[in-house]
Structures are given as C-alpha cells and as structure tokens.
Amino acid sequence: MARTAPNPSSTRSDSLQAAFLRRATSALERMAASASPKTLSDALAAPTDAGSLAWLLSRSEVVGEAVIELDPLVPALARNVEHRKRLIERAGGTLSAEDSGRLLGISRQAVDKRRRSGALLAVRDGSDWRYPACQFDETEVVAGIADVIRAYASAGPWVALDFLLAPDSALGGRSALEALKSGDRDAVLRLLRSEAQDGYA
C-alpha cells in the first residue's frame, strides 16, 4: 500500500505550534510560580481564558522586572487587550458581517461597503471584521454613528468605540452612544468638534 507523503506546510505548522506551546507554557509556569494566591484568584475571576491571561500579563510584579527590561511593552499590550475585551462586553458583543447584514436586511457585500465608506463601525478580530452590537437600533444603525467614525478615522475604530461608550460630563454623564440613542445628536457633534480642537479626534 502506497504511503502518502507528508505535507511540508502542515509539518511546519505543527512544529511551530509545538515550539510556541513550549515557550508559552514555560512563561506561564514562571508567572504562576511568582504570583500570589490573590493575584491568581483575581486572574481566574476573568470571564474568559484570554481575559485571565491578559490580566496576569498586565501585572508587572508577576511578569518580572527582567522580562520588562527586555520587552517593556508586555504589560501595556496586555492592558490594551483587556481594555478592548471590556469595550466589547460593554458594547453588547459583536456581530459578523453576515449577522449584521441579516439585521439590516442587506447583503454581506453591502455591509462591507458600508464599513469601507465609514457608515458602519467595525473592529478587527484577527483577520475578520466584527461589528459592535451597540451601534444597531433594531433594524437600523443608530443615527450619528457615522459622524463618530469619521471623526476618529485616523485614530481607528477602537478609539471611536471607546468614545461612544465612555460617559462624558459634557453630555451630562451620559455616553455618546446614549446621547445618540436619545436623539441628542447635536450634543455629540459639539463634543466631537471640541475633541478635534483639543487634538483628540
């Protein structure tokens, strides 16, 4: 019986996965050994595996001074990952392009077109675009979302999402999203102009 020759690309992928797992496991073992019981308990309180890991990596006392000296961005990157996870939770999760299309009654291609034109807010998840659920009001996009996307086009969609969800004293303690949903688009536009003048947008 003839044997099937191994696929070189598959073999390389398996080797890379094994090498990564060895390195990552070694790092996790060192961090777990240096972490206090309270730190581990706090990390385990995160709702997801990724959240637990991000929380642990954000603690400089756990990562270690030697690691931070070699790669000082490790805690900051971990905090950024955790912040984005919290944003997604506050946004009510995300939808795929297909699900967004079904909600709006349009095709996936039309969803992509709206994203590219700045009419729909989408954030990267690996190689995919995901659409924060908070921007949808039943079968429509909340009026004013496009204004926020345009204002933060250079800063990126994560910054736009952060702006939408953060309470602001200029809006009476409401978030921009809450103001838009209540029909107070002018107040959000004024805030966007103010942010632009201050160099934040």
* 13 in a structural domain: no
* 18 in a structural domain: no
What predicted TM-score, i.e. pTM, was given to this entire model? 0.65
**138 and 98: one domain?**
yes
* 75 in a structural domain: no
**167 and 115: one domain?**
yes
User: Which domain, by its residues, includes 142?
Assistant: 91-199
- 3-class state of residue 91 by DSSP: coil
Spatial separation of the C-alpha atoms in residues 63 and 73, rounded to whole Å: 11
112-154 pLDDT per residue, tens: 999 999 999 999 887 889 999 999 998 899 999 999 999 999 9
Each residue's pLDDT tens digit in the chain (201 positions)? Answer: 555 555 666 666 677 888 878 877 877 787 777 778 888 888 888 777 777 777 776 666 666 654 555 466 555 656 677 788 888 999 999 999 999 999 999 999 999 999 999 999 999 887 889 999 999 998 899 999 999 999 999 989 999 999 999 999 999 999 999 999 999 999 999 999 988 876 555
**137 and 106: one domain?**
yes
* CA 153 centroid distance within chain: 16
**191 and 96: one domain?**
yes
* 142 in a structural domain: yes
**117 and 175: one domain?**
yes
Residue that finishes a domain, picked among 70, 101, 129: 70
CB 75 within 8 A of CB 63: yes
* 12 in a structural domain: no
* 168 in a structural domain: yes
Number of structural domains found in the chain: 2
> Which runs of E-coded beta strand occur in the chain?
94-95, 123-125, 128-132, 136-137, 140-141
**46 and 97: one domain?**
no
* 189 in a structural domain: yes
**97 and 192: one domain?**
yes
* 106 in a structural domain: yes
**40 and 103: one domain?**
no
**65 and 96: one domain?**
no
**192 and 99: one domain?**
yes
Q: Six-digit token pair at 201?
A: 């947008």
**98 and 143: one domain?**
yes
